[in-house]
């Protein structure tokens, strides 16, 4: 039942939103150009080299395009399947080491948090990074606490390598830091020592090096100057200068936004764990590891110069297990607190539904979603769900329904589909450029089905001498300065994008 619901949540309506977010567009357009050119080793974005990021997300999106055609939902399929694989992996890891209720609660928390709902349905690379980073943490925990065979060690190294090939060093740093901290804390507490010999093995290291670094080695050998420049710039932006610099406490300050609606439980979960420790009650080893994993990831992310919303996704699996275990084991005043929070959630949900139906005049559109919610709750009761699990199921269903409804009906601003609509009508214009600097807007190229090159103001005069007329897509306020005698005609305008025709009279 959980699996069927998860498939619906992740795959249903993947193409509702057009591609407009910069991170999504970069991957989708780079994958499209990779498929068209047949060059799968050297990524290009708007016709220019793009070596700033590892290639695995481009490869997977290009494979999806090859299998299903080029489109928005096809670009998002790899992330959705990564989310599905992560939940299955989490269930496999938990179901023998925790109670069934705690495992179910953890899966519900992971699946229906705002951040996971957003990024498991996005063409960005973060869902892939999370899958392999979390996979390495889970497999590493099994190896250092229960030992394992050679195949498990190779899988551990494979997760590290594929994680690095998804989005860089965080995929290696987080598992190793979390596992090292856990091993040291367990040894200090006098528990049976863990062994690193079952973790850092020759097969694991070789697998990690081949999968994670072979592409980088190839680029540095065959495109040495370009590769060194791009890789050096990425290291500088991430760890030194930071083009998204934020204060150290940024992730803590936004915790309640990122992990809504479950985020309010983190404080009582911590207090509950401390109470159990003071009473001499044992906290399950897997939960102890997840607390260490959560705090190690938070420490590493907070110490990094660059801080962005999608990076906080790396906290999700450990947080889900911590909160899921708390929901399953809360007793006394903590149970009463959870009931009060559940009642508050129900009141907020009813108020939000009333606002959407009455205040925003979405009554007709909301009826199918309300029916889906009711059917999901009836199915859960019929399946035997009771108590805290049923309450969490209701919270998860309502959160997912609100997310889907908002995605389909409440976020249709004109600028989000401007590139799609403009290129549907005018992609045949030749020569067609986009005016600006840098990499430009890849959504124009993606929806045009061809590269729409960026034309800077310094090269405009040269292009006008070669081609007349020519067409330029620009944002409404960024009108290029043209030489005397050149006529500028606004041929079309969609959202904040304008198509200009430049010609001599």
Asked, for residue 299, whether it belongs to a domain, the answer is no
Among candidate residues 36, 32, 20, the one with its CA nearest the CA of residue 420: 20
In a domain, 273, yes or no: no
* Rounded (10°) angle between helices 316-329 and 126-146: 60
C-alpha dist (Å) from residue 86 to 22, 79, 80, 93, 131: 25, 10, 10, 10, 5
Which one, of 77, 57, 167, lies nearest residue 122 by Cα?
A: 77
pLDDT digits (tens, 9 = 90+) for 161-188: 999 999 989 999 999 999 999 988 888 8
State whether 215 and 175 are in the same domain.
Answer: yes
Same domain for 57 and 127: yes
Question: Do 47 and 128 belong together in one domain?
Answer: yes
Q: What is the pLDDT of residue 87?
A: 94
Same domain, 97 and 78: yes
The whole-number average pLDDT for the span 330-344 is 94
- Comparing 436 with 70, the larger pLDDT belongs to 70
Token code pair at residue 197: 């010999």
Task: Tell me whether residue 270 is in a domain.
Answer: no
For the segment 380-386, the average pLDDT, to the nearest whole number, is 85
To 5 degrees, how large is the angle CA 85–CA 293–CA 195?
A: 95
How many other CB atoms are there within 10 angstroms of residue 452's CB atom?
Answer: 29
pLDDT of residue 177: 94
Burial class (CB in 10 A: 0-12, 13-18, 19+), 288: middle
In this predicted model, what pLDDT tens digit does every residue of 266-300 receive, in sequence order? 999 999 999 999 988 889 999 999 999 999 999 99
- 430 burial level (CB within 10 Å; 0-12, 13-18, 19+): exposed
Return the residue matching tokens 């606002």: 355
Say whether both 374 and 424 belong to one domain.
no
Report how far Cα 204 is from the mean position of its chain's Cα atoms: 26
Q: Do 238 and 384 share a domain, yes or no?
A: no
Q: What are phi and psi of 189, to 5 degrees?
A: -80, 0
Same-domain pairing of 122 and 163: yes
Q: How far is CA 34 from the centre of its chain?
A: 22
Say yes or no: 390 and 438 in one domain: no
> Which has the closest alpha carbon to 326: 361, 275, 252?
275
Least confident interval from 54-68, 261-275, 435-449: 435-449
Last-in-domain residue among 412, 444, 475? 412
Residue labelled with tokens 């799609």: 420
The overall average pLDDT reported for the chain is 88
- Answer yes or no: is pLDDT of 193 > 60: no
Q: What would the mean pLDDT of 200-210 be, rounded to a whole number?
A: 89
Per-residue pLDDT averaged across 27-51, rounded? 94
Asked if residue 380 belongs to a domain, the reply is yes
* Burial (CB count <10 Å: 0-12, 13-18, 19+), residue 281: exposed
Query: Is the pLDDT reported for residue 259 higher than 80?
Result: yes
DSSP state for residue 131 in the 8-state scheme: H
For residue 404, being part of any structural domain is answered with yes
Is residue 221 one of the residues assigned to a domain?
A: yes
More confident residue, 192 or 266: 266
Q: What is the pLDDT of residue 223?
A: 87
Q: Both 374 and 229 in a single domain?
A: no
Inside any domain, residue 259: no
Residues 100 and 208 in one domain: yes
> Is 60 a member of any domain?
yes
Q: Which domain holds residue 361?
A: 333-412
- If asked whether residues 234 and 147 sit together in one domain, one would say yes
The pLDDT of residue 362 is: 64
**What value does the mean pLDDT take over residues 320-333?**
95
The domain total for the chain is 3
Q: Which of 412, 434, 455 is the last residue of a domain?
A: 412
Least confident segment among 126-140, 266-280, 365-379? 365-379
Report the percent of the chain where pLDDT is more than 70. 94
Same domain as 442, residue 343: no
Of 391, 412, 433, the last residue of a domain is: 412
The reported pLDDT for the residue numbered 15 is 86
In this structure, what is the dihedral angle of CA atoms 139, 145, 147, 151, given to the nearest 10 degrees?
0
Give which of 436, 365, 441, 447 is closest to 406, Cα–Cα: 365
């Amino acid at each position: 039942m959980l699996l069927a619901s998860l498939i619906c949540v992740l795959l249903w309506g993947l193409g509702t939103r057009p591609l407009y977010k910069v991170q999504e567009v970069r991957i989708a357009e780079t994958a499209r150009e990779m498929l068209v050119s047949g060059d799968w080793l050297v990524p290009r974005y708007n016709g220019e080299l793009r070596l700033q990021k590892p290639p695995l997300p481009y490869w997977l999106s290009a494979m999806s395009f090859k299998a299903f055609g080029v489109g928005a939902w096809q670009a998002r399929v790899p992330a959705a399947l990564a989310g599905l694989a992560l939940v299955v992996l989490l269930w496999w890891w938990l179901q023998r080491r925790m109670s069934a209720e705690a495992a179910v609660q953890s899966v519900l928390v992971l699946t229906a948090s705002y951040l996971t709902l957003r990024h498991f349905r996005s063409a960005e690379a973060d869902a892939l990074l999370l899958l392999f980073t979390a996979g390495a943490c889970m497999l590493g925990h099994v190896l250092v606490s229960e030992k394992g065979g050679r195949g498990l060690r190779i899988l551990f190294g494979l997760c590290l390598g594929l994680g690095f090939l998804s989005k860089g060093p965080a995929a290696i740093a987080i598992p190793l830091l979390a596992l090292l901290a856990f091993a040291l804390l367990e040894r200090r507490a006098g528990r049976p020592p863990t062994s690193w010999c079952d973790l850092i093995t020759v097969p694991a290291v070789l697998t990690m090096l081949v999968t994670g670094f072979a592409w980088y080695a190839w680029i540095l050998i065959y495109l040495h100057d370009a590769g060194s420049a791009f890789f050096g710039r990425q290291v500088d932006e991430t760890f030194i200068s930071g083009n998204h610099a934020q204060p150290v406490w940024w992730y803590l300050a936004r915790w309640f936004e990122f992990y809504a609606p479950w985020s309010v439980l983190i404080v009582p979960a911590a207090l509950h764990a401390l109470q159990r420790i003071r009473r001499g009650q044992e906290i399950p080893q897997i939960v102890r590891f997840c607390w260490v994993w959560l705090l190690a990831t938070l420490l590493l992310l907070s110490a990094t110069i660059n801080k962005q919303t999608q990076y906080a996704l790396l906290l999700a699996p450990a947080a889900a297990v911590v909160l899921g275990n708390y929901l399953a084991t809360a007793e006394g005043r903590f149970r009463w607190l959870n009931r009060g929070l559940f009642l508050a959630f129900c009141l907020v949900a009813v108020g939000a539904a009333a606002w959407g139906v009455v205040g925003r005049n979405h009554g007709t559109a909301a009826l199918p979603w309300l029916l889906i919610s009711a059917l999901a709750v009836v199915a859960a009761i019929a399946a035997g769900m009771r108590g805290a699990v049923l309450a969490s199921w209701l919270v998860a269903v309502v959160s997912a329904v609100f997310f889907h409804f908002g995605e389909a009906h409440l976020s249709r601003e004109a600028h989000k589909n401007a590139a799609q609509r403009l290129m549907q009508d005018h992609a045949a214009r030749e020569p067609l450029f986009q005016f600006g600097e840098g990499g430009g807007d890849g959504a124009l190229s993606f929806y045009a089905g061809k590269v729409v090159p960026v034309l800077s103001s310094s090269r405009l005069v040269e292009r006008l001498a070669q081609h007349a007329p020519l067409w330029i897509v620009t944002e409404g306020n960024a009108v290029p300065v043209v030489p005397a005698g050149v006529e500028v005609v606004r041929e079309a305008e969609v959202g904040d994008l304008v198509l200009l025709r430049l010609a001599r009279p």
